[in-house]
Structure 1
C-alpha cells in the first residue's frame, strides 16, 4: 500500500474554480476522511484522485508516481460509490470477480482472490446469491469486495453509506473500520456525516467552498478547532454560538444576560466576539435565569434541551441523569471558563 499527496491541486470548470490550491498528505495506511457540507468540493477532490475528474492545475502523487495525467485504470486505485452498481444477473462471486475476468486473469486466481475477499467481509455464505436476495448492507459489502479483489494501492469511498438506513449505517461503519484494521490499506473516504468522520478517521480534512479549513485527528478538531466553521461542524449536536462583547475580565453575553469568564487571552475591551460552548459542557439550573425551555428531546440516556434566549439566539444543552428540565421550564445555564471558546466576529477565527 502507499500514500497520496496533493500539491496545489486545482479544479476549474471553465471560468469557475471549485478546488483552490489544495495541499494534502495522506500517509501510507492512513484512513483519511473528507468532510464538509454539500457543495464544498469533497467528492470532486476524491474524483480528481481517482482520475474521474481532470486536475486543472497542480500535482497528484500516489506513492512515488505522478498520476496527475494518468488514466483511472493506471492509478492503482479502487473506488466504492454511493450506489452499489452490481450486475443484477450475476451472483455475488461473479460480481466480485468480474473486473479480474475482464482483465484476463486465470479462473484459479480469480477464485482465490474472491475467496480471500469474501472471508474478510464475511460474504462466504452469499457467494451464490444474486443482488436481489441481499440486504443493502450486504450489497455494499459486495461492492467493497469487488474493490478488494483488485488489490489496489488506495481505496476511495464516495459516501458509501448514504443509501442505507440508520441501523445498517452503524453496522457498515463498524465493518469498514474493521476492514481497514485488517488489511491496513490507505483509504480516502468522503462523507457529509461528521459522526462517520469522527468514528472512522485517523485524519479528518474539513472542506468549505473548495478550501481546506483544517486537517487533524478527530479529537484534535473537536477540542482545538481553528475557526467557527470547524467548531460548528465537528461535534453533534453542534456547538452553541452567542454574540458578545469583551469587558473587563470576561465577555458580556446579552443572550445569557450576564458577563461570563473565559479562559483565553482577551482582545481589547469593547471588541465584538462570538462565544462558543458545546451542549455537553453546559449545566442546567431549573427555576433560575431567563431562558425558556422550548423543546426537550428525550433519547433515553440523554436528552437535548432546546432553549430560547432573550436575544432570539438558540441554545442546545445535553442533559444526563435523572433530573432533567421539561418544556416550558425557566432555566439558567453555566459552564466552566476553560470550556468556552472565543472567535473573532468578522473573520470567525479562533481567539486563543
Structure 2
C-alpha cells in the first residue's frame, strides 16, 4: 500500500476556479476523510486523485509515482461511488470479478480474489444472487468488493452511504471501519456528514470553497478548531455562536449569554466585537425569563433545547435530564465559561487564542 501527496493542486472549469492550491499528504495506510458543505470541492478533489478530472495545476503523486497526467487505470486506485453501478444481469460473484475478467486475468485467480473479498465483506451467502435480490447495504458491499478484488494501492469513496437509510448507514460505517483495519489500505473518503467523518477518520480534511480550512485528527479538530467555520462544522449539534464585545483585557460581554465571560485568550482592545462559541453540552437551563423555548427534541437519553435569546440570537442546549419544557416557556441560562472559545468578528472568523 502507499500514500497520496497533493502539491499546489488547482482546478478550473472555464474561468471558474473551484480548487485553490491544495497541499495535502495522506500517509500510507491512513483513513483520510474529506468533509465540508455541498459545493466545497471535496468530490472534485477526489475525482482529480482518481484521474476522472484533469488538474489545472499542481502535482498528484501516489507513492513515489507522479500520476498527475496518468490515466485512471494506471493510477492504482479503485473508486466506490454513491450509486452502486452494478450490472443487473450478473451475479454478485460476476459483478465483483468483472473488472479482472475484462483485463484478461485467469479464471482461477479471479475466483480466488472474489472469494477473499466475499469473506472480508461477509457476502458468501449472496454470491449467486443478482443485485435486484439484495438490500441497499448488500449492494454497497458488492461495490466495495469489486474494488477490493482489483487490489488497488488506494481506495477512494465518494459519499458511498448517502443512499442508505439511517440504520444501514450506521451498519455500513462499522463495516468500512472493520475493512480498513483488516486490509490496512490507504483510504480517502468523501462525505458531507461530519458524524461519518468523526467516526471513521484517522485524519479529517475540512474544505470550504475549494480551500483546506484545517487538517487534523477528529478530536483535535473538535477541541481545537482554527476558525469559526471548523468549530461550527465539526460537532453535532453545532457549536453556538453569540456576539460579544470586549469589556477589558480578558473579559467579554455577551447579551446573548446575558453576562460576561472571562478568558485568557488574546483579545483585541476594549470595545472590539468578537464572537463567543459554546458547545450545546456546556450550556444549562436555569430559572429566569431571558430566553424563549422554541422547540425541544427529546431523544431519550438526551434532549436538545432550542432557545431564542432576548436579543434574538439562537441557542441549542444539550440536556441529559428528563426536561419537560415546552414551546413558549421562558428560562434562564448558565454556561461553563472556561469552555468558551473566541473568534474574530470577520468573514474568516479566526480563533483568538
For this structure pair, what is the TM-score category when the shorter chain's length is used for normalisation? over 0.9
Alignment partners' CA distance in 2, 1:338 and 1:207: 29
Equivalent in the alignment of 1:111: 111
Question: Structure 1 residue 279 and structure 2 residue 285: aligned?
Answer: no
Alignment partners' CA distance in 1, 2:324 and 2:260: 25
Equivalent in the alignment of 2:294: 294
Equivalent in the alignment of 2:129: 129
CA RMSD after TM alignment = 1.0
Alignment check: 8 A CA contact 1:263 1:337 kept: no
Secondary structure, aligned partner of 1:97:
helix
Residue 282 (structure 1) shift: 1.0
Question: Structure 1 residue 166 and structure 2 residue 166: aligned?
Answer: yes
Equivalent in the alignment of 2:254: 253
Equivalent in the alignment of 2:26: 26
Alignment partners' CA distance in 1, 2:256 and 2:319: 20
Q: Deviations over 1:44-72 (max 9, x none)?
A: 00000000000111000000000000000
Under a length normalisation based on structure 2, what TM-score does the superposition of the two structures give? Answer: 0.98
Equivalent in the alignment of 1:75: 75
> Which one is further off, 88-97 or 7-16?
7-16
Alignment partners' CA distance in 1, 2:350 and 2:278: 15
Alignment partners' CA distance in 2, 1:341 and 1:208: 21
Equivalent in the alignment of 1:215: 215
Under a length normalisation based on structure 1, what TM-score does the superposition of the two structures give? Answer: 0.98
Alignment check: 8 A CA contact 2:303 2:323 kept: no
Secondary structure, aligned partner of 1:160:
coil
Alignment check: 8 A CA contact 1:78 1:154 kept: yes
Unaligned runs of 5+ in 2: none
Equivalent in the alignment of 2:311: 311
Secondary structure, aligned partner of 2:79:
strand
Residue 330 (structure 1) shift: 1.9
Alignment partners' CA distance in 2, 1:194 and 1:66: 31
Residue 323 (structure 1) shift: 4.4
Unaligned runs of 5+ in 1: none
Alignment partners' CA distance in 2, 1:53 and 1:92: 29
Residue 321 (structure 1) shift: 2.1
Alignment check: 8 A CA contact 1:31 1:187 kept: yes
Alignment check: 8 A CA contact 1:291 1:330 kept: yes
Q: Deviations over 1:74-99 (max 9, x none)?
A: 00000000000000000000000000
Question: Structure 1 residue 330 and structure 2 residue 330: aligned?
Answer: yes
Alignment check: 8 A CA contact 1:263 1:338 kept: no
Equivalent in the alignment of 1:320: 320
Residue 327 (structure 1) shift: 3.1
Provide closer, same or farther for how the CA distance between residues 86 and 133 of structure 1 changes in structure 2, counting only shifts above 3 A.
same
Secondary structure, aligned partner of 1:190:
strand
Secondary structure, aligned partner of 1:86:
coil
Alignment check: 8 A CA contact 1:80 1:147 kept: yes
Alignment check: 8 A CA contact 1:263 1:340 kept: no
Alignment partners' CA distance in 2, 1:324 and 1:235: 25
